[in-house]
Structure 1
Amino acid sequence: MSGQDAERRLRGRGRECEVLHNLIADVRSGGSGVLVLRGEAGVGKTALLEEVHEQASGFQVVAVSGVESDMELAFAGLHQLCAPLMRHIEELPEPQREALNVAFGRGVGETPDRFLVGLAGLSLLAAAADEQPVLCVVDDAQWLDQVSLQTLGFIARRLLAEPVALVFAVRDHPELLTGLPELVVDGLSDTAARELLESVMIGAIDPRVRDRIVAETRGIPLAILEVPRSVSATELAGGFWISGKRSSAAAVEHGFVRRVQALPQQTRQLLLLAAAEPIGDAALFMRAAARLGIPVDELAPAEADGLIDFGSRMRFHHPLIRSASYRAADLADRRAAHRALAEATDPQTDPDRRAWHFANAAAGPDDSVADALEQSAARVQSRGGIAAAATFLERATALTADPALRVSRALAAAHAKRDAAASDAAHELLAIAELGQPTEHQRAMIGRLRGQMDFVRSRAGGPGAPQLAETAPALLDAARRLDGIDDYSSRECYLESIAALMYAGRLADPDALAATAEAARTALRDKTELPRAVDHLLRGVAERIAGGPRDGATGMRVALQAMCDQAEADDTAVGRWLKVPGFPIMQETCAHELWDEVSLLKLSTAAVRYARATGALAGLPRALIYRAGVHLVAGEFASAAQLLEEAESITMATEHMSPIRYHSLLLDAWRGDAAAAGRLLEAAAADGAARGEGRLLGLTGYAAAVLYNGLGRYREAFAAASEACEYEDFGIYGWCSFELIEAATRTGADAAARQALDHLTERAGASGTDWGRGVLANAQAMLADDSCAEELFVEAIERLGRTRIVVHQARVRLLYGEWLRRVNRRTDARTHLTEAHEMFTRMGAGAYVERARRELVATGEKVRKQQVSTSGDLTAQEAQIARLAGDGLTNQEIGAQLFISTHTVEWHLRKVFVKLGISSRRQLRTVSWAS
């Protein structure tokens, strides 16, 4: 059908039809296309989906429609969409194949990460698209089960080089599918609306009535099309139409209710049965109708009235007709319909939908139905459907008569709702649990869950979110309550309370962190056995905070060593760490406090390895950021940037909040772009102040000091470092002290420099590592007399040379070279300044490159231009794919690691070959990559 034909059929939709036709044309030419049609009910989104279907000749078309229902069957929508494509499942890599089979109930295995299921869905679409282009149509997306919608959103964000079109229609829910290309579908223009109205009228219509109808229907096509059915010819012709009758989608639905109510009683019951059965299974419908004792022929009047089609699948002509059929029935009839459907559903093949229908049929508490719902919750959770499990448990709670069991189920449902990011529902369930008779352990767990949700909400920010410091008391109270009842949970809760106050930092009560650490230390005092690494971590952190910089090191070292050992032997331990949002950060902070690069490297590597190998995409951004920090201190800025970019893209794809990344601040500061870094630092400081995240203020001070020391703006560096050092941020303070020492020695603030050196000596000097002692020797050299300085600089170079901490290796070379020039040893100075210049150039530390260049020029050296890496024109993802290909990974293996399809890998590699002027993967091994 041509664009003009479509315009004649869809009056007033020329712009929308052109967008859809272009999307299909792009996919025909080998690209991909995603579009969200957003608009209110009845505005014509379904008609536009039918139009794109018409245009997709030669495509394989798969479709799914959401159903307005409380039902939350995990991956039900995705399963229905993918069912016609499952013949390609054997083409998927084994982890993806297994994940999809478990999610769809076709196999048994460990709970799959929902985004590994998403990658499997993407691979399935790509495999099908090898045969012919694929069009996926998702109507009423707002009514799909939550996990299906999230997964389809992930797939949509990862489509790039596959001939696949994915088109959603969604009502005006701004929180759904945000960030995807969208087309807002509004009401028709007055001219198009008048033409549409006149085209469906049999007789004449009074022009004044016509114009009033057009105005009050707001150009909503469905409202206009319903006018001849709901307004008499006399009213229309004579001008007696009642103003306001058909002014909204709600009024249109009311019109459908009236049409349903005008049907015979048994027809209405069959329509209700079809409305309550969400997947349109005609065989199930007929079995349920037989249980009600109603012949299916009684559906004929509804078919004749254009409300429903009865074929191999039941199909309402519009979603509003389904909801109208359900709402037109009284409660007793609805329960009878659900009971008939439950009894007609096979308990072996579909036990969960059967349990849900029985739940909707229940008139009051029913322990047998609640038991079945609880069993269903366990099954759907094992398939990765946490949102579905939460809904089953919530309903089970409502149907449970036994008070003690009701409390237990409410608490379990609250945990599931929290995990499904439905915190409001979780809080309501916690209130239900409290109204019962919870045990002391349950009361404590209620408090802990509230505190955890408040902590997450405060870090995300937004209206009504509590300040970070406000979340700690509830966690501390829960930890105390759990002590002696559930020691494992108590220790974790103490650690969570400390973490909340560590994030709050200087914006919290000055004594709160020390008091909480002392409470944890007291609780641990009589505990002779600490079997877990997390227990040792708590002891070390608590002793360090409560006792001072020379305390706690043993506990933290034991914890980090135990975690490193676990990471090598037990991947499940790594998985548990990644599921706790603050735990990788606590690991990283303790390693920083101890200047322990070995633990940083081992633990961050294990985290990324586990997340990639298992498809744990929810935890992968945290793992990537953790690893990016290791690349950053190793001077591998390009690698750090690639991981941060990947973490950001995954965060966007999974629709999680995207707070400012700590390592992004540091990366910009080290790169030395004053304008770009300044904007990010200013935004981060404002964000930290708004959320009560004082630690972010400390980090911005440290990052600003790094930036300004590199630029040679030492007074600004001194001010930033001084402000950062006003509060002892755990794991950052030693680094801030070093920046303060350098800035102070350049501005004549010797007293401040010596005080900072005392603080650094207590921390880095007691570390026992080459990293810590090398940084300390460097700082001591800056304050030493000329007779002692050289020996300290040499010690710093030797110690740091045994580490991977290249940023400090380059800094000591620069500082030593500057000192040598000041004592007029120009030849020696040139040696170290040249080395520093080359190291900073390889990193991409622009400000420090320029500082080293100025010093070299002052020695009389002519600075040669550094060779630019051949990979410089590649994007971060292109460089990452090229590296992996150069390491010998196949396209399928690369796609699995980076959560993209093999088509996208191939597409990127073609561009890499052109940019690098090579023609084979083997040549990638010879490319000199920028760090």
Structure 2
Amino acid sequence: MRAGRSGVLTLRGEAGIGKTALLDYLSACAEGCRIVRVAGVESEMELAFAGLHALCTPVLNHLDQLPVPQRAALCTAFGMSAGPPPDRFLVGLAVLSLLADAAEEQPLVCIIDDVQWLDRVSVQILAFVARRLFAERVGLVFALRTSDEKHHLEGLPELVVEGLAAADAGQLLDTMVPGRLDVPVRDQILGEAGGNPLALVELARSGKPIVAAGGFGLPMEMPLTSRIEQGFVNQLDPLPAETRRLLLLAAAEPIGDVMLLWRAAERLDIGLGAAEPAEAIGLVEIGTRVRFRHPLVRSAVYRAATTPERREAHRALAHVTDARFDPDRRAWHRARAAGGPPQKVGGQLERSADRAHSRGGLSAAAAFLQQAAVLTPDPAARAERSLAAARAKLDVADTVAASKLLAAAAAGPADPLRSARLELLRAQIVFDEQRGRDAPPLLLEAAKRLDPLDPAMARDTYLEAMAAAMYAGRLGAGPDEREVAEAARAADHELGPGAADQLLGALVTRFTDGYEAAVKPLALALRRFGEPDAGGTDRRWMWLACRLAQDLWDDDLWHALATCGVRVARETGALNLLPNVLNHLAALNIHCGALETAASLVEEVDSIVEATGMPPLKFGAAMLAAVRGDKHQTLALFDWGRHNVTVRGEGSALARIWWLTALLYNSHGDYGEALTAARRADEHEDPILHSWVRVELIEACVRNGGPLEEANAALEHLTRATRASGTEWALGTAARCCALMTGDEALYLESIERLGRSRAVLELGRSHLVYGEWLRRENRRMDAREHLRTAHETFDRMGAIAFAERARRELSATGETARKRTKEAFSELTAQETQIARLAAQGHTNPEIAAQLFISPRTVEYHLGKVFPKLGISSRRQLRAVLSGTEDAAACG
């Protein structure tokens, strides 16, 4: 960090293994750095942004330096101002900028202990920040317990902290126990502790090993963490009751605010001297902040208290917490206090949930609603609150808790609308968890039940059921797209003017009346998503709109929707939308021949998915691998993908993998393998890819000498679809396929002409290639060279190595050696450097680039410092000229 670079490290190990001691050592050795240290607290695991707030509080004096949208998002998240729920991406970017600004004054080391007890939102955002630190002089060091559960820090640099060696453990135990232990007892203690230093220390301090010398041994049924905590509990027993009550206050309020602690203590008539006995034995230190000797001391104190004692502590803390400056925390303490008449408390918790939701604390809102449901005596109201809590849990991706709350809601009295909403939420949980075969029948049944009860919700559910059926494809266990469409049509809803309603109507036509009938209404519906008055609710379907634009063979519409979707997602920080539309924008850039741009977008998608724990989004990555043509790497990726999607029942992804496998083999000229793969893809009859599959099948069939009737049937289908579409991309591709079948030169020329007027650079290169191959076979070598040279240059420039090699072989057969392309300067740039260079060439400032790419301005500055020497320039003004001769990224987004 002193050298101007950031660093991230995760310490992982069992409780008491020494992680906190290592953090103490780091803190002591970080000379010249500012230290900010926090620890997760078990009682606050569901209080959204709690850990993040504690970490950022010492550097909030830099808040005014943030861009307005970031500042507003952070203030709302921390309860410092009211506003709509902030998106976590925007909050993450704000935290990144805040830490980077603070580090400008002095290198900053952020130490976060007990991450396993940190609230989920804080962990997600800190993982997001950690993956984007580069040149900010910020260090992030996490410590968490080893467990079998996945955590959001996976993939970050990690150090596993292991136990002491046998000799060292024995030496430590000998120093802790006065006198001599019996050898069997000593061996038993060492064996049970397993080299865990805190276990050795606390077991020795508790006096239990001495008692065990009688031969009774140590209790083995308690987990190690509980044994360590019990050692601390044993040290609590001799303390005065007033001291234990003070420690409980400190354990229940983990921000370490000394003034807050003493105000709560005063309310409970706890005197100033109550801390002395605990400080004397080193359990706690009360200075400028409250700090326990070890996080497990806090846990032991809280767990050792009775339920009434905990409620008393939370009630006192709620009373002294300022509702204006920290309303979430005050509401949480009130929830934990859970005193008073149940109906009244339930209502208070529900209002607290509303307030937390308005500030973006979805996890806190869910926790409040969950406890409100428990404390609600009226069965109908309890069921309604359980359902609301389940919906909130699903919003924060906690499907396990949502399922449990659904069961509680289902136990309430029968109510038709509530029962239908229960079914819908149950189906949405299945869809979110799997995106496979099980969701379509559940969603369709939910839509039917909602028909007479809530038509607007029913229409949204029919659309979701259709999307789920498209995902499931041939692997689905229930209704296909047509069955869902027929059910939606039978419901006879009056469609509104909104984009989502119009899309539902167009898809009903698509899957009942056929492709040709749906082209016009589908195009009109998709264009509604890009209009300025398209609502935020409708825009959550923009990922589906991008996918359907490809079904129309309309790359202009695809471009408009993908670029609009990315812009909207970046401007609003829409976490659920951004990676999906980036995925389709990456595929569009491949279609346009801009593989380098696509690679940077794929990298961004992977980064977002990894940081947030979303399911993988691999369409762009798979298409990029296939077009680049590295057979070994691509087939390995596809083998993994086939297993993954088959288990989940995502048939559309399986069809896509076989289609891309056929494309890969065609690029290599392995036409037999391509034909086999195309037939496998064709079996799935994916509505979006069906025509694209026929393109690969026709080329493979013709080149492999396959059955003409098979190729003719494929061409007939392709021709019907492309004529209905009527775009240059569609007609140009169909003309090439027809030329392959008939050898009609006019069709080759038509294909090149039409595709030249579209964005389909990849398909244009393929048309030049097959036309050149045909010309060579007609012994027209001079004519063949022109088109083969164009194809080779196109594919070589793109980085489509297999297609380029196929063109080179054909060109060599004409007697001409392919000229090696001069290496363009930009090819030396990394994917992120390329993205930053292009944005800078477009005139964006460093903060603007940082906001778009979710990195810090200092990282932008660092990368530009690498870009300029690689390109042989010294200023931004020269970037546009240098990049003007490279692939046209602007044309594709």
Aligned position for 1:552 = 518
Flag the 1:349–1:663 CA change in 2: closer, same or farther, 3 A. Answer: closer
Flag the 1:842–1:476 CA change in 2: closer, same or farther, 3 A. Answer: same
The question of whether the paired residues in 2 share the 8 Å contact of 1:73 and 1:380 is answered with no
> Partners of 2:457 and 2:114 in 1: how far apart?
42
Aligned position for 1:426 = 402
Aligned position for 1:400 = 376
> Partners of 1:233 and 1:747 in 2: how far apart?
79
The question of whether the paired residues in 1 share the 8 Å contact of 2:662 and 2:677 is answered with yes
> Partners of 1:273 and 1:189 in 2: how far apart?
38
> Partners of 1:529 and 1:700 in 2: how far apart?
36
Secondary structure at 1:384's aligned position in 2? coil
| 1:732 lines up with 2:692 in the alignment | no
Give matches, 1:715-726, under 5 Å: 715-726=672-683
- Please give the per-residue CA displacement for 1:697-717, whole angstroms capped at 9, x wherever unaligned: 211221122122222222222
The question of whether the paired residues in 1 share the 8 Å contact of 2:495 and 2:505 is answered with no
Which one of 732, 736, 745 corresponds to residue 702 of structure 2?
Answer: 745
> Partners of 2:865 and 2:766 in 1: how far apart?
39
Which one of 462, 479, 484 corresponds to residue 516 of structure 1?
Answer: 484
Aligned position for 1:806 = 761
Q: Which amino acid aligns with 2:506?
A: G
Flag the 1:727–1:230 CA change in 2: closer, same or farther, 3 A. Answer: closer
Aligned position for 1:5 = none
Secondary structure at 1:63's aligned position in 2? strand
Secondary structure at 1:413's aligned position in 2? helix
Give matches, 1:362-761, under 5 Å: 362=338, 366-459=342-435, 468-508=436-476, 512-523=480-491, 526-564=492-530, 566=531, 569-570=532-533, 573=535, 575-576=536-537, 579=540, 583-659=541-617, 661-748=618-705, 749-761=707-719
> Partners of 1:746 and 1:803 in 2: how far apart?
26
Q: Which amino acid aligns with 1:547?
A: D
Segments of structure 1 that go 5 or more residues without pairing to the other structure are: 1-26, 460-467
Flag the 1:327–1:822 CA change in 2: closer, same or farther, 3 A. Answer: closer
Q: Which amino acid aligns with 1:848?
A: F
| 1:354 lines up with 2:330 in the alignment | yes
Which one of 139, 154, 159 corresponds to residue 165 of structure 1?
Answer: 139
- What is the aligned residue count? 881
The question of whether the paired residues in 2 share the 8 Å contact of 1:771 and 1:803 is answered with yes
TM-superposed CA distance for 1:899, in Å, is: 0.8
TM-superposed CA distance for 1:898, in Å, is: 0.8
TM-superposed CA distance for 1:30, in Å, is: 2.5
The question of whether the paired residues in 1 share the 8 Å contact of 2:836 and 2:863 is answered with yes
Q: TM-score when scaled to structure 1?
A: 0.90
Larger CA deviation: 879-888 vs 253-262: 253-262
| 1:339 lines up with 2:307 in the alignment | no
The question of whether the paired residues in 2 share the 8 Å contact of 1:505 and 1:695 is answered with yes
The question of whether the paired residues in 2 share the 8 Å contact of 1:42 and 1:220 is answered with yes
TM-superposed CA distance for 1:235, in Å, is: 5.4
TM-superposed CA distance for 1:60, in Å, is: 0.7
| 1:178 lines up with 2:146 in the alignment | no
> Partners of 1:586 and 1:850 in 2: how far apart?
35
Which one of 900, 905, 910 corresponds to residue 860 of structure 2?
Answer: 905
The question of whether the paired residues in 1 share the 8 Å contact of 2:203 and 2:231 is answered with no
| 1:253 lines up with 2:249 in the alignment | no
> Partners of 1:128 and 1:631 in 2: how far apart?
38
The question of whether the paired residues in 2 share the 8 Å contact of 1:813 and 1:835 is answered with yes
> Partners of 1:196 and 1:290 in 2: how far apart?
41
The question of whether the paired residues in 1 share the 8 Å contact of 2:438 and 2:478 is answered with no
- Please give the per-residue CA displacement for 1:84-142, whole angstroms capped at 9, x wherever unaligned: 21222222222222222222222333322112211211111111221211111111122
Aligned position for 1:30 = 4
| 1:198 lines up with 2:155 in the alignment | no
Q: Which amino acid aligns with 1:763?
A: A
Secondary structure at 2:616's aligned position in 1? coil
Secondary structure at 1:449's aligned position in 2? helix
| 1:106 lines up with 2:106 in the alignment | no
Aligned position for 1:10 = none
TM-superposed CA distance for 1:496, in Å, is: 1.6
> Partners of 1:862 and 1:210 in 2: how far apart?
80
> Partners of 1:509 and 1:306 in 2: how far apart?
62
| 1:264 lines up with 2:240 in the alignment | yes
Q: Which amino acid aligns with 1:755?
A: A
The question of whether the paired residues in 2 share the 8 Å contact of 1:364 and 1:399 is answered with no
Aligned position for 1:128 = 102
Secondary structure at 1:765's aligned position in 2? helix
Q: Which amino acid aligns with 1:319?
A: P
Q: TM-score when scaled to structure 2?
A: 0.94
> Partners of 1:346 and 1:97 in 2: how far apart?
22
Aligned position for 2:876 = 921
Secondary structure at 1:74's aligned position in 2? coil
Flag the 1:544–1:30 CA change in 2: closer, same or farther, 3 A. Answer: same
Q: Which amino acid aligns with 1:180?
A: L
The question of whether the paired residues in 2 share the 8 Å contact of 1:99 and 1:116 is answered with yes
Larger CA deviation: 250-259 vs 240-249: 240-249
Secondary structure at 1:407's aligned position in 2? helix
Flag the 1:754–1:675 CA change in 2: closer, same or farther, 3 A. Answer: same
TM-superposed CA distance for 1:764, in Å, is: 1.0
Q: Which amino acid aligns with 1:175?
A: K
> Partners of 1:400 and 1:506 in 2: how far apart?
45
Secondary structure at 1:872's aligned position in 2? helix
The question of whether the paired residues in 1 share the 8 Å contact of 2:10 and 2:156 is answered with yes
- Please give the per-residue CA displacement for 1:21-46, whole angstroms capped at 9, x wherever unaligned: xxxxxx23322221112122222221
Q: Which amino acid aligns with 1:65?
A: A
Flag the 1:442–1:233 CA change in 2: closer, same or farther, 3 A. Answer: closer
| 1:827 lines up with 2:802 in the alignment | no
Larger CA deviation: 867-876 vs 527-536: 527-536
| 1:894 lines up with 2:849 in the alignment | yes
Secondary structure at 2:8's aligned position in 1? strand
- Please give the per-residue CA displacement for 1:819-871, whole angstroms capped at 9, x wherever unaligned: 33333433333332322222222222222222222333333334322222211
Flag the 1:244–1:718 CA change in 2: closer, same or farther, 3 A. Answer: same
TM-superposed CA distance for 1:364, in Å, is: 7.5
Flag the 1:40–1:859 CA change in 2: closer, same or farther, 3 A. Answer: closer
Q: Which amino acid aligns with 2:65?
A: E
- Please give the per-residue CA displacement for 1:228-284, whole angstroms capped at 9, x wherever unaligned: 532289759xx5475215983322322322332333333333333332233233333
- Please give the per-residue CA displacement for 1:788-814, whole angstroms capped at 9, x wherever unaligned: x12322322222222111122222222
- Please give the per-residue CA displacement for 1:759-786, whole angstroms capped at 9, x wherever unaligned: 11221111122222222222222223x5
Secondary structure at 2:36's aligned position in 1? strand
TM-superposed CA distance for 1:601, in Å, is: 0.8
Larger CA deviation: 201-210 vs 218-227: 201-210
Q: Which amino acid aligns with 1:815?
A: V
The question of whether the paired residues in 2 share the 8 Å contact of 1:411 and 1:429 is answered with yes
- Please give the per-residue CA displacement for 1:329-353, whole angstroms capped at 9, x wherever unaligned: 3222222232233333333333333
Aligned position for 1:17 = none
TM-superposed CA distance for 1:578, in Å, is: 6.0
Identity of aligned residues (%): 50
The question of whether the paired residues in 2 share the 8 Å contact of 1:42 and 1:221 is answered with yes
> Partners of 1:52 and 1:539 in 2: how far apart?
61
Which one of 763, 770, 779 corresponds to residue 737 of structure 2?
Answer: 779
RMSD (Å), alpha carbons: 2.4
TM-superposed CA distance for 1:600, in Å, is: 0.5
TM-superposed CA distance for 1:316, in Å, is: 2.3
Give matches, 1:279-298, under 5 Å: 279-298=255-274
| 1:64 lines up with 2:38 in the alignment | yes
Q: Which amino acid aligns with 1:470?
A: D
Which one of 273, 277, 282 corresponds to residue 306 of structure 1?
Answer: 282
Aligned position for 2:55 = 81
> Partners of 1:110 and 1:918 in 2: how far apart?
45
TM-superposed CA distance for 1:204, in Å, is: 5.1
